[in-house]
């Protein structure tokens, strides 16, 4: 049995730490969206709790990777429309609630999204802020904002285009139609599609696999990969090279390469 510990109490999310193997002292952080009555619609309070929980995991040295999930029925059906229906351009700009969302992007540790049911609108955008996506066969993805007279506002036009390419992204965003799990897999939006009974476990397994590597290396790799999405190739390559050189001041690099030459498994310490 794996140890799990509940860390803090929130209203809209459930947060846990799960040890990767008994006694390892290494954990994955689990965050589950938990507004079942609203199909996990992402209101401002929920997003603040989510960011808080993720930042706490980011600071916790024993946590190496994070799994973000919803429920079997819905990862998240969207942003909370009720909350913004009456906003004006000026009022919505001055509240700037999306600033909270932007802080998800600053999380350094790898995040695996475990997605079942609806991942629509803001739910799809939150999912795309994660680094890997494990989907259940029953998952449905889409950006239906045009159906209610708006457009994606939390990164959908950019991240979906990066994932699918211009033409497919145009179709999905301009028609607002949902994609099935298999279509999303073929289009390159998700890493893996598994039966609904196992999606959370598969996502955890992926996180556990990552947790066994040097956290210094996985975090710098994540940072460098994300760099590929802004700026020129030359900038990205320079950034990658810098991170690569930087790792040579870590103990994990010394241990990792030594273990490789000695044909044994590396013991990473996270420094």
Just list the catalytic residues. 79, 122, 125, 145
Q: How far apart are CA 58 and CA 65, in angstroms?
A: 9
DSSP states of 160-204: HHHHH-HHHHHHHHHH---EEHHHHHHHTS-SEEE-GGGHHHHHH
Q: How far apart are CA 7 and CA 52, in angstroms?
A: 12
Calculate the CA 243 to chain-centre distance.
Answer: 22
| CA angle 196–124–226, rounded 5-degree value | 110
Alpha helices in 37-165 (DSSP H): 44-59, 81-84, 89-95, 98-102, 122-129, 156-164
């Amino acid at each position: 049995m794996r140890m799990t510990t509940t860390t803090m109490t929130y209203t809209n999310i459930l947060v846990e730490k799960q040890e990767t193997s008994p006694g390892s002292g290494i954990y994955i952080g689990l965050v589950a969206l938990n507004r079942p009555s609203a199909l996990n619609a992402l209101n401002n309070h929920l997003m603040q709790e989510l960011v808080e929980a993720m930042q706490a995991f980011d600071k916790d040295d024993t946590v190496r990777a994070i799994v973000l999930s919803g429920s079997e029925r819905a990862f998240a059906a969207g942003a909370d429309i009720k909350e913004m229906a009456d906003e004006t351009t000026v009022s919505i700009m001055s509240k700037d609630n999306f600033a909270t969302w932007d802080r998800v992007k600053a999380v350094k540790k790898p995040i695996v999204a475990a997605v079942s049911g609806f991942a629509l609108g803001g739910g799809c955008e939150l999912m795309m802020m994660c680094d890997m996506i494990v989907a259940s066969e029953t998952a449905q993805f889409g950006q239906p904002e045009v159906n209610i007279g708006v457009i994606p506002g939390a990164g959908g036009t950019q991240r979906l285009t990066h994932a699918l390419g211009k033409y497919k992204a145009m179709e999905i965003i301009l028609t607002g139609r949902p994609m099935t799990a298999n279509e999303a897999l073929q289009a390159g939006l998700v890493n893996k599609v598994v039966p609904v009974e196992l999606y959370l476990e598969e996502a955890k397994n992926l996180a556990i696999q990552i947790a066994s590597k040097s956290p210094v290396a996985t975090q710098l790799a994540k940072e460098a990969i994300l760099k590929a999405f802004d700026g020129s190739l030359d900038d990205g390559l320079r950034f990658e090279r810098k991170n690569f050189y930087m790792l040579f001041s870590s103990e994990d690099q010394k241990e990792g390469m030594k273990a490789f030459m000695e044909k044994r498994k590396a013991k990473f310490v996270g420094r």
